[in-house]
Amino acid sequence: MQPSSRLDRLPPYLFPELERKIREKRAAGVDVISLGIGDPDTPTPQPVIDTLARAASDPGTHQYPCNRGRPELREAFARFYDRRFGVALDPETEIIPALGAKECVFNLNLAFLDPDSVALAADPGYPVYTGGPLLAGAEAVLMPLLPARGFAPDLDAIGGDVAERARLLYLNYPNNPTGAILPDGLFERAVEFGREHDVLVVHDASYTETTFDGYVAPSFLETAGARDVGVEVFSLSKGWNMTGWRTAAIVGNAEAVATYWKLKTNIDSGMFEAVQLAAAAALDAGPPAEVTQIYQRRRDLVCDALAEIGVDVTPPKGTIYVWAPVPGGHTSASYCELVLDESGVVVSPGSSYGPNGEGFFRISLTVPDERLAEAVERLRGSLGG
């Protein structure tokens, strides 16, 4: 057996030691609480499930789906963008459903990168922005996201050869893992950058619907000129508790959407049509308000407890994560190990999201309130003194 060498290009997996420890703890009878993964614990809205059940009973949905998506779904995305962002999209040319933002982001790398080209990826950032370009045989160049800049990449610092070779620029606000919201002027600067260097700007809008304290996240496509240079990847996973359904779309620049579609027709056969109809119903109903209320309550619980034990944390206005600095004397990895050892609570080391994640850890708010309260109590008890 000879696996492809392209797999050797992927960075080393940073969780094995932590995972070994979790297994060890569980085997020793410790009730481990994992705040590691961002996967909503509350259910998909019932009307969406009901629509799926009805649609799945119709044999008309049982055959290969059309990879362009059913008109009902593309039109529902267009209505949603119009209502929510004031952005008018043409469902014929500017929207294609995707099997999750992850599939879409990964395939954009295959659709747009050649071996000597570059994708500009946030550091720290969602791992597919860096793994995807490597698997496409290209290069990922990291753009540091630093607290002092509000976790905005410095696009003025990208010049010369890298800017020449760049074909994709990934942005994501509200941001995983930092919880940052869109820094002022970033989308406008990204449009200029896209124009200056002939780069496709890809805004990953996975968390625009999970925001707090009255903050309303914009779409990249609201920015003047955005549609000339960019696309947005919109996902139902987090806002509607639909991670398992694999429902998202690429929207925006028609040429980029068509290029993605051309690639995709060669890779998968689209989204189960009953799921497409359920996703259309979800979009028309809008994201349930309770989802964000739950995360806001949990965010407050976690941030208050961290503040009490002396961790200097800024409560995020979006996403489903709290991004906090590790106390002095620790690396991200050593602190996460200590937390697990002392309290049986799993948090993610910031360094697993890129070199500039070092010095931070991430807490996911996707466990039931009682478990989160228990985790917080344990953190208070074991790390507070």
Ligand X SMILES: Cc1ncc(COP(=O)(O)O)c(C=O)c1O
Contacts to ligand X by CB under 6 A? 38, 100-102, 126, 172, 176, 204, 206, 235, 237, 243, 248
Cross-strand pairs, 139: 118
Can you say whether the dihedral through the CA atoms of 51, 53, 57, 62 is positive or negative?
positive
- Provide the minimum distance between the beta carbon of 128 and ligand X in the complex, in angstroms, as a whole number: 7
Residue 105's alpha-carbon distances to 23, 54, 171, 206, 300, in angstroms, are 32, 31, 11, 11, 31
Q: φ and ψ at 89, to 5 degrees?
A: -120, 145
Cβ proximity to ligand X, 217 vs 305, nearer residue: 217
Q: What H or E segment, with its residue span, contains residue 187?
A: helix 186-197
Cβ proximity to ligand X, 61 vs 206, nearer residue: 206
- Provide the minimum distance between the beta carbon of 210 and ligand X in the complex, in angstroms, as a whole number: 11
- Provide the minimum distance between the beta carbon of 305 and ligand X in the complex, in angstroms, as a whole number: 24
Structure tokens at 28: 């020793």
Cross-strand pairs, 360: 325
Cβ proximity to ligand X, 170 vs 261, nearer residue: 170
Structure tokens at 177: 């893992």
- Provide the minimum distance between the beta carbon of 61 and ligand X in the complex, in angstroms, as a whole number: 21
- Provide the minimum distance between the beta carbon of 105 and ligand X in the complex, in angstroms, as a whole number: 6
Cβ proximity to ligand X, 68 vs 102, nearer residue: 102
Dist CA 110 CA 60 (whole Å): 32
Cβ proximity to ligand X, 206 vs 219, nearer residue: 206
Dist CA 16 CA 37 (whole Å): 15
Cβ proximity to ligand X, 176 vs 292, nearer residue: 176
In terms of Cα–Cα distance, which of 105, 117, 175 is closest to 321? 175
Cβ proximity to ligand X, 197 vs 234, nearer residue: 234
Closest residue by beta carbon to ligand X: 100
- Provide the minimum distance between the beta carbon of 91 and ligand X in the complex, in angstroms, as a whole number: 20
Residues 6+ apart with CB under 8 A from 122: 129, 142, 143, 145, 153, 170, 171, 172, 175, 354
In terms of Cα–Cα distance, which of 365, 348, 292 is closest to 127? 348
Cβ proximity to ligand X, 123 vs 204, nearer residue: 204
Cβ proximity to ligand X, 107 vs 172, nearer residue: 172
Q: What H or E segment, with its residue span, contains residue 362?
A: strand 360-364
- Provide the minimum distance between the beta carbon of 248 and ligand X in the complex, in angstroms, as a whole number: 5
Question: Cα 376 to chain center, whole Å?
Answer: 25
- Provide the minimum distance between the beta carbon of 11 and ligand X in the complex, in angstroms, as a whole number: 17
- Provide the minimum distance between the beta carbon of 5 and ligand X in the complex, in angstroms, as a whole number: 27
In terms of Cα–Cα distance, which of 258, 260, 206, 200 is closest to 231? 200
Can you say whether the dihedral through the CA atoms of 91, 275, 36, 209 is positive or negative?
positive
In terms of Cα–Cα distance, which of 76, 79, 75, 69 is closest to 91? 75
Dist CA 50 CA 108 (whole Å): 33
